[in-house]
Chains A and B, each alone.
Chain A
Amino acid sequence: MPSEFSLRSDSVDVEQIMEQIRGRIREKRGVDYTEDELRELAKVKLETFLDPTRVRSDLLEHYRSGHRSDLVELFSPAPVPGNFTFDDHLVFGSARGVTGRFIAGFRKLLNPILKLFINPNPIIQVLHLQGQINTHNADQFGRIAHFINDRERARADLDLLNYEVLHNLVLEMTRLGIEVKNLKMRVESLSSRLDFNERRARALEHVVQYQPGAGPVAETGRSTPPSTLPPDSGRGPTDQVNPAAKGEAQRSRRRRRRRGRGAAGGGPQGPTEANHQEQDGRSGPALLPLEPNGRASSEPASDPSDPGATDQ
């Protein structure tokens, strides 16, 4: 729920109104971090905000450095050199046209003489087989490389997604960390105020119960027999006999108690502070009302009992 402002219409100053609005947002957030500042915080100060979760502050940097785009094409196979098909032509043939044909014929003619020294046929068969094996392997390797590349690409896409999610999570965690910290502070502030209000209410009840004079208090006094008064109220039969003297004594006792409480470290929770707050019209963390030019006014922003007047 946005905060309430009290602005007059006679002289509007947008610059100052905007400053007030920014101030209110800063107040609500604790600190008004921009997106860039949040990113900076997420990068540097994670351990400060996220200590319980033990998230490493350089997590994003590690993740980023671990994500190498050049891995994607790691398995791009080098072009396979052309394979040979072993046959008679390859062994005896020549590529020199007409001369080549003559050379091939001559080699074949001399083949029986060659066979006197070695038998080339098994060698040709083995090399032919090796050629087939090479083709098969190249085919298999190509398929595997293709498969791995596909997987790598999919993984790279997923990594990008993961990075984005992680990045957003870290930002969000930082934001939440800050918010939790602020909320803790507010809860502490509220609980201390509540504690003070309870004590104040008790004190007021006490005062009202024994207020001398007319009205319900007096009636209470009249309708309550002396024996029913609490034993620690310090009132005896004399008080009932002389109400004026009793009232004076009570007032001086209350003053003494109040002084004692203030001296005992009531601090900002003490009645004096409370009275100031009431005079300021601030029942909660609502803004001081603004003049149209943005200056704080001494008038109350609104009825302090109005919940709309706070930024809860």
Chain B
Amino acid sequence: MNIAVVVQRYGLDINGGAELHARYIAEHVSRFAEVEVLTTCAHNYITWRNELPAGEARLNGLRVRRFPVKRERNPQQFGRRSVHVFEHWHSLADEHAWLESEGPASPALTKYIARHRDSYDYFIFFSFRYYHAYHGIRAVADRSLLVPTAEREGAIGLSMFGPVFRGVRALMYNSFEERAMIQAAAANHDVPHVVVGVGSEVPAHPEPERFRAKYGIRSPFVIYVGRIDENKGCKELFAHFEHYVRAVPGDLMLVLVGHSILPIPEHPRIRHVGFVDDQDKFDAMAAADALIVPSYFESLSMVALEAWALGKPVLANGRCDVLQGQCLRSNAGLYYEGGEQFLETLYQLQSNRHLARAMGENGRAFFQRHYTWPVVEQKYMDMLNRLHDDDASGRAAPPIEPLPGWFARRRATLPPANDVVKALPEGPVVGQERR
């Protein structure tokens, strides 16, 4: 079976959530099928500047074909168009213009996909919201699987993605909350799907003491891993933690791992160790009392899964449906929806060792059950084999809905995307896949 993984950026040093996810899936599925990666020459997800050479390359044994991006992103134009489609009544043409502005606009990639559709059995597209996925799926919908990596934000409310969600052969969701949201937005309940997520390779024997010795951290600590960014809820995390420190005597520290694009408060109990390699990261997580995930928008928190794999409880932002749902389904984490809840929940995790340990064990079991690589690989291969069987038996998938005509595309009859998102069901999906 020949599989093409299509993703906006690809590289060993590209650590964006969806991109890393795509790389892991490509590498693991390649054990069972011929896999190629189709991507752009972009390295930076803000500018989409062509920084990597076009053409073929090999990465970790996989063939990677890169195609140039036609133009860099114009942030002003993209901002203007975002405001227009997210906040005002607009037309389908406006949404297409928004997608062009968002990028990475690579007609060469789309053209290649359309021309070489017969060279691949299936195309696995990552990230529904980008140019490559929309146009690529429109070109080869009958051979497309989509990993949406959708978050609860404006793009999910854009009308142009409805036919895409309904037209692909299969959807590989990251979480039950993501599935509920997309099904509510696109009414695509009939499309074959599976909630699968992504696995992680966690060392069997991390060395917490090595991390403590290396960074001179002796007190107990909770850890945040990821980009230190206001969009990730870090500013709120700092405020909550400082409140905690004032209210609760002790020596609990907050250790931050990752690049910072936000000023970090000068506080003796907050320590930023910067970007570290995987060994340090896993050692740090193993040394921590708990992992904090303060993000509002996640389609799947890989770092939370890694913490659970290491037997550590998680304290998550309860305003993110996915994180709350994962905590509830796994019984391996608490969540907060404000300063007081942060204080109470963190205090419970820190002071009640039995509880923390039990949650850690639950997390480990949850990870083993759903997110180890054999489980994830099996889900992907089951879906691919199912589609293959359907094709072999001549059960053709219905074609993707065609675009409306020129005039219809220009009629401003579509509601603001943010209003559409507000109307979608909220909250965690409980009662499924619980222990």
- Which chain A residues have a beta carbon within 8 Å of chain B's beta carbons? 1-5, 7-10, 12-15, 17-18, 21-22, 24-25, 29, 34-35, 292
| A24-B354 contact given A13-B331, A14-B331, CB 8 Å threshold | no
Q: Is the CB of B343 within 8 A of A2?
A: yes
| A21-B355 contact given A1-B247, A2-B247, A14-B333, CB 8 Å threshold | no
A21 to B315, CA, bound (A): 14
Q: Is the CB of A25 within 8 A of B354?
A: no
Chain B residues whose CB sits within 8 angstroms of the CB of A22 once the complex forms? 341
Q: Is the CB of A8 within 8 A of B354?
A: yes
Q: Is the CB of B248 within 8 A of A5?
A: no
Q: How far is the CB of A35 from chain B (nearest CB, A)?
A: 8
Q: Is B328 an interface residue (CB 8 A)?
A: yes
Please give me the residue from chain A that is nearest to B359 by CB atom. Answer: A12
A-B contact pairs, 18 of them (CB 8 A): A1-B248, A2-B247, A2-B343, A2-B344, A2-B347, A5-B348, A7-B352, A9-B357, A10-B358, A12-B331, A13-B331, A14-B330, A14-B331, A15-B328, A18-B334, A21-B344, A21-B345, A292-B358
Starting from the known contacts A8-B354, A18-B335, A18-B345, 18 additional A-B residue pairs (CB-CB under 8 Å) come to A1-B247, A2-B343, A2-B347, A7-B352, A7-B355, A9-B355, A12-B358, A13-B331, A14-B332, A14-B333, A15-B328, A15-B430, A21-B345, A22-B341, A24-B344, A25-B341, A34-B338, A292-B355
A-B contact count (CB 8 A): 61
B: contact size bracket: 20 to 34
Chain A residues whose CB sits within 8 angstroms of the CB of B430 once the complex forms? 15
Chain A residues whose CB sits within 8 angstroms of the CB of B362 once the complex forms? 12
| Residues of A contacting B: mostly | loop
Chain B residues whose CB sits within 8 angstroms of the CB of A1 once the complex forms? 247-248
| A7-B340 contact given A1-B248, A21-B348, CB 8 Å threshold | no
Binary flags per residue of B344-380, CB closer than 8 Å to A gives 1, else 0: 1101100110110111001000000000000000000
A3 to B343, CA, bound (A): 10
Q: Is B253 an interface residue (CB 8 A)?
A: no
Q: How far is the CB of A111 from chain B (nearest CB, A)?
A: 64
Q: Is B327 an interface residue (CB 8 A)?
A: yes
A14 to B349, CA, bound (A): 12
Q: Is the CB of B348 within 8 A of A9?
A: no
Q: How far is the CB of A207 from chain B (nearest CB, A)?
A: 39
Chain A residues whose CB sits within 8 angstroms of the CB of B357 once the complex forms? 9
Please give me the residue from chain B that is nearest to A24 by CB atom. Answer: B344
- Which chain B residues have a beta carbon within 8 Å of chain A's beta carbons? 247-248, 327-328, 330-335, 338, 340-341, 343-345, 347-348, 351-352, 354-355, 357-359, 362, 430
Q: Is the CB of B352 within 8 A of A2?
A: no
Chain B residues whose CB sits within 8 angstroms of the CB of A5 once the complex forms? 348, 352, 355
A4 to B430, CA, bound (A): 27
Q: How far is the CB of B351 from chain A (nearest CB, A)?
A: 8
| A9-B354 contact given A1-B248, A15-B430, CB 8 Å threshold | yes
Chain A residues whose CB sits within 8 angstroms of the CB of B338 once the complex forms? 34-35
Chain A residues whose CB sits within 8 angstroms of the CB of B359 once the complex forms? 12, 14
A86 to B359, CA, bound (A): 93
A146 to B225, CA, bound (A): 53
Q: Is the CB of B352 within 8 A of A25?
A: no
Q: Is the CB of A2 within 8 A of B355?
A: no
Chain B residues whose CB sits within 8 angstroms of the CB of A8 once the complex forms? 354, 358
Q: Is the CB of B334 within 8 A of A7?
A: no
Please give me the residue from chain A that is nearest to B318 by CB atom. Answer: A18
Chain B residues whose CB sits within 8 angstroms of the CB of A17 once the complex forms? 334, 348, 355
Chain B residues whose CB sits within 8 angstroms of the CB of A14 once the complex forms? 327-328, 330-334, 359
A60 to B308, CA, bound (A): 48
Rank and list the top 8 A-B pairs by shortest CB-CB distance, nearest first: A9-B358, A2-B347, A9-B354, A7-B355, A21-B344, A12-B358, A2-B344, A14-B331
Chain A residues whose CB sits within 8 angstroms of the CB of B347 once the complex forms? 2
Q: Is the CB of A7 within 8 A of B344?
A: no
Q: How far is the CB of A1 from chain B (nearest CB, A)?
A: 6
